[in-house]
Structure 1
Amino acid sequence: MTEAETDAGNGSDTPEDVDIDRLKRDLAGIKEAMGIGERYPSVIRLWLVFAVLVLAASLASQYVLTERLASYWFGVVWFSLMVLGGLASWRLTGRTDRSSAGEGPNIGYQFGLVFLSGIVVQLVTNPLLGTLGYVDGTLYVFSIWVTLTGIGYLISANSLRAYRIRRKDRLALSLGGVLMIGYVVLLTYWEPLRPWGYAAFGISYFIYAVASYGILRGA
């Protein structure tokens, strides 16, 4: 009997000898260890894109606030630059691996719902803005959007668990959400910050986003 026949008789290389459950666990473990930069190499660049865009929008808004320009300029500034951010997101994520589509929640859809909720909240509270001064009314609307964006970051961080992204990388989003919500609280109760609320936010976000990019890229 040949060696090949002996191996076949012993069944050492037959599919039945493969532990399917163990193989699945090993594959899951490999995926769990992957970071955002490893699984979606183009996506981490979004931290740099939005670092620049948010800083630019914040500084432009600070100018509008300081000069007491018409309130609609805040919307023009943020809408224009965030549309650019959305286009950049679409272009970058369009280059990523689509093989995991359908495995988990749609993060873009979740952010869309947060955005729509922001519109509803602003429409509901608009009648109250007439009772506030220019600065207070402006910062009130700004606080709504920053808070909801922070909530969107926290939701996204939790949703990435479904995509087997490691905890350290998810913390980058969680930290961003916590910082945004904490900033709104500080802006509300610390009076010296209010005249410079936009500029301080833009600089803080820029530092956070650049640091997050560095950590995620080197992770």
Structure 2
Amino acid sequence: FPVMPRIFMAVRRESRYPVSEILAKTPAIPSGCQWGIFLRNHDELTLEMVTDEERDYMWAEYAKDPRMRANIGIRRRLAPLLDNDRNQIELFTALLLSLPGSPILYYGDEIGMGDNIWLGDRDAVRTPMQWTPDRNAGFSSCDPGRLYLPTIMDPVHGYQVTNVEASMASPSSLLHWTRRMIEIRKQNPAFGLGTYTELQSSNPAVLA
């Protein structure tokens, strides 16, 4: 949880220090264990473990609309947080897959799923997985009114456009890119089992 908001701060500020500092403060764990790391999950992007100044910065940068906030955090998915910018999404995902720990991808982020800030509390980021452009996004064949939460239907992230079926059919899709990145990580055990040592750089925007 402490790493998650600092990844967003570091990239937006073009400074490695938010990530470098939190990794340096991360306590050691037994051999054979790893921290779970993620960009987003089923709850809000928690800002409980940052300073008041950092929290205000994150809200100003990533949650200008009060409806995007929940508890002490931001209730948005990865793609909307990054304005659906493919380059930014790839940068964040590549960073996640290269940091020490066990990376966790939240369902739908691999296809650029959106959210629904009109839903209450954390439900904004818990809508049905978008498998196909068919009824209920291919998630269920039931009457749409019986779904626990409605599917995303906006013009940018709606299931008719953003879904696994369409992503699989496009070689240049975010889904295929993400699968390739995961495969590269799996082919190089050092990413999962090696030790992490930060290399110093004179450029504060470089994390190595």
Q: Shorter-chain TM-score: what band?
A: under 0.3
Which structure has the bigger radius of gyration? 1
Query: Whose relative contact order is higher, 1 or 2, with alpha carbons under 8 Å and at least 6 apart?
Result: 1
Q: Output the TM-score relative to the length of structure 1.
A: 0.24
Q: Output the TM-score relative to the length of structure 2.
A: 0.25
Task: Looking at secondary structure, tell me which structure has more strand per residue.
Answer: 2
